[in-house]
Every structure is written in structure tokens, then in C-alpha cells.
Amino acid sequence: MSLQPPLGSQVPRAIALVPLRGGSKGIPGKNIKPIAGRPLCAWVLEAAHAAGIFAEVVVSTDSEEIASVVAQHSPDTRILRRPAELATDTASTEAVMLHAADHFEFSHLATIQATSPLTTGKDLANAFRRMVDGNYDSVVTGVRVRRFFWTSDGTPLNYNPANRPMRQQFRGTVMENGAFYYTRRELLLSERCRLGGKILVFEMPPETAVELDEPEDWAKVESLLRRKILPARIGRVGLLVVDVDGTLTDAGMYWSAQGDTLKKFNTRDAMGLERVRRSGIEVAIITSEKSPIVAARARKLGITRCHLGIREKLPVLESLAAELGLSLEEVAYIGDDLNDLPCLERVGFGACPADAVSDVRATVDYVSTFPGGAGAVRDVCDTLIEARENRVERMNIRALP
């Protein structure tokens, strides 16, 4: 956390405020309910600390349970006990902000909503820099929506039906997504409102339009969060292990009239594996089939670590990792059937094709949108390469000078 000078200096002093009320009717206990492996509130608290711009990160809560969870998962966060009158269904966010202003000195207040866990430290830092550089009084976040809107009485809101724009030329409308707000102290105290004066509209990625207000939102946001954390987990991968039937192939068994067996492979998968190897990740094949076709394909791809006829795959996987000096957390595995589960459950990154069996799909970190033998391996390879390339620059955020 980068502490800033006190009020009166030329450098702004910003603090982050995360309101976490104990009562929640839509999703009981949602502020500390686990999502993608951690309590909901932990996502925005991590983002606030990672931003590197806040003198304090503060949670305002009336709940001892929430305070305990915050202390466990984010020990650098300050706890502000909220009085009972500010913990009702009718208490406004502005009242909570003003309560914080009574207890902390700041020039700028960032009010961050825990129900927007896709918010990143980079979002918070970039919005604040733009606010300061442009001398804005407040910031609202939103997502650009390229749709035509009407009132229920037939009045168009954002376009002229007589001059209907083509979609490519239509800039659309920014929809407030409620992720976070910035407010100058003077504006908050004088207007008792989070927004006013010269307002900056800070646009965020389309997926951040989803908020966790209803139970049906939970699965969608959890899926997005798991994809968000993939770069941090898979950027360290040093070995990719690939199953064959149903993964590198379509699981079909092709027979000629002469009784010869054939397998169908995908050239895009082959290019993916080649690119992975060029990026510095080792590649191995472990398959229960003892097929000369697979051995020939491995030779064609230049894969020397090819293990055929393996019924118990996990011991071979462990041996491969040890040989390369890797932990299983540094191994990625892609498979499609039940005999792949022991490996998928142990590796740092497990993936499967879109048509893998249901137990495998429920276990892995990543389900490709492509079926086995039709681009699933290429999809996983591209994901690994992107994560490896982005690892160095992830969360590389400077504090304001």
C-alpha cells in the first residue's frame, strides 16, 4: 500500500471505502459468501490494495462476522464500525460515506461496491489518474451499451428513429454499472451526494455490467472470476500434458475395409502445441491407448515425452513433473474422461474440451468452447501462451508521483 501525504500538500490523499452491511435479503450473507475460492468482499479489497493509490482501505460494517472475515483475508484493511441507523435497508450509501468522512481525512473518496468483484486495481488507478489530471469533481463507472432505448410511452431515449444509425456508426449509451465512485471531499460535504460538479464517466469492460444482486447472477460472475484469475495461476506453468482420445482426437475410431484403424487429428491443435513449446513450456502425452498411430503423431509433432498404454496416469504425471523440477501446481493437463480425473484434480491448471464428460467439466478450471479434436487443445495452448506473456506486466501499477 502506498501512503500519501496529508491534506494540504499538492498530492491528493485518496482513501477507499467498501461498504459491507451485515443484512442482505437477495443473497443472504453475500458480502462474505465464497465465490471462486474466496469471500466476495476479498476481491474488491485486493483490487483496492493493488491499485497502489490509497492512503487507507476502509471497510464500513455493522457486522462482527464480516469484520472477522476482512481481518483474516485483508489484514491491512481498516475496519470502521457502522452505527445501527446506518445499517438498515433504507440507509443511503451517501450516509455511510459521510460517516467515513467524520473519521478519516482525505481529498478524494473511492466508494467501491463488493457486488462488482470484477473491478481491478488497474481500473481504480486509471480512473483516479484521469480524475486528477482532468480536475474532475466525481467519477461514475459504466459500460457502453450499443442498444436503442425507449420509454414505456414510446419515446426514444438515445436515437432518432427517422435517422436510424447503422450499428457500426452508433456509439451507444454508457450504462452505470455501480462498480465504484470517486468523490471530492468538498463535493461530498456540500452536496451530500456521491456525484456532482464536473463528472468523469469511466468506461469499463462489458463483463463488468454484471452485478451480484440476485442469486441467478452468482454462477455467471463466478465463471468470469475464475477466468480472471487464470493468468496468475497459469503464468507459472512449465509443462502441458495432453490426453489423446477425445482430446487430441474426436474420440472416434475409424476402420478401413482392410481392418486398419485410423484416428483424426487437428492441424490447428498441432500448431498450438508447437507454439507452446516455442514459448518455453514442455509438452508431454499420456494416453491409455497403446497405438502406433499416436506414437507416429508424437514424432511428427516433435514430442519426445510420449507415454502410451498408461492405465494409471497420475504416477507418470508426477514422475514427469519431478524430472523437470516442477511442482504439480506448475503443470497443466487437458483431458476429457474419467481416467483423467486424478490428474486434473492435482495439477495447477486443468482443462477439458467442450464435449468432455460431465464429471470432468465440473472439476476443471477451464472448459474450452471447442470439442475434442476440433480446436480444444489449440484453445488451451493459446490461453497458456497469453498468460505466460502477460504474467510480468500483471498488476504493474505505479502510485502517483
User: 203 pLDDT exceeds 50?
Assistant: yes
Q: Which residue type occupies 307?
A: H
Please, which contacts does 226-229 make with residues 24 or more away whose CB atoms are closer than 8 Å? 226/36, 226/365, 226/366, 227/366, 228/118, 229/36, 229/37
Average pLDDT over residues 10-19: 89
Q: CA dihedral in degrees (334, 339, 344, 347; nearest 10)?
A: -100
Cell numbers given for 163 = 435517422
Average pLDDT over residues 176-199: 97
The DSSP secondary structure of 78-135, one letter per residue, reads EEEEPPGGGSSTT--HHHHHHHHHTT---SEEEEE-TT-TT--HHHHHHHHHHHHHTT
Average pLDDT over residues 245-250: 95
Beta-carbon-side half-sphere exposure of residue 276 (alpha carbons within 13 Å)? 31
- pLDDT score for 223: 74
- pLDDT score for 361: 87
Q: What is the pLDDT of residues 129-183, one digit of tens each?
A: 999 999 999 999 999 988 898 999 999 998 889 988 887 778 889 999 999 999 9
Lowest mean pLDDT among 3-17, 148-162, 166-180, 375-389: 3-17
- pLDDT score for 301: 93
Cell numbers given for 230 = 487464470
% the chain with pLDDT above 90: 65
Mean pLDDT of the chain: 88
Confidence at 281, pLDDT banded by 50, 70, 90: very high
Confidence at 395, pLDDT banded by 50, 70, 90: very low
Closest CA to 53 of 97, 105, 11, 7: 11
User: 3 pLDDT exceeds 70?
Assistant: no
- pLDDT score for 394: 42
- pLDDT score for 166: 82
Average pLDDT over residues 51-58: 96
Q: What is the pLDDT of residues 115-133, one digit of tens each?
A: 999 999 999 999 999 999 9
Identify the DSSP state of 371.
-
Cell numbers given for 127 = 480512473
User: 4 pLDDT exceeds 70?
Assistant: no
The larger pLDDT score, comparing residue 146 to residue 101, is at 101
Average pLDDT over residues 174-203: 97
**Beta strand pairing call for 173-184 and 108-112:** antiparallel
Q: What is the pLDDT of residues 65-99, one digit of tens each?
A: 999 999 998 999 999 999 989 988 889 999 999 99
- pLDDT score for 154: 94
Q: What residues are labeled active site?
A: 164
Q: Which residue type occupies 88?
A: T
Q: What is the pLDDT of residues 312-360, one digit of tens each?
A: 999 999 999 999 999 998 999 999 999 999 999 999 899 999 999 999 9
Contacts of 330 (CB under 8 A, 6+ apart): 236, 237, 238, 239, 321, 348
**Distance separating the N- and C-terminal Cα atoms of the chain:** 14
Closest CA to 348 of 367, 327, 329: 329
User: 275 pLDDT exceeds 60?
Assistant: yes
Q: What is the pLDDT of residues 207-246, one digit of tens each?
A: 899 878 777 788 788 877 876 766 666 778 999 999 999 9
The larger pLDDT score, comparing residue 27 to residue 337, is at 337
Confidence at 391, pLDDT banded by 50, 70, 90: low
- pLDDT score for 41: 95
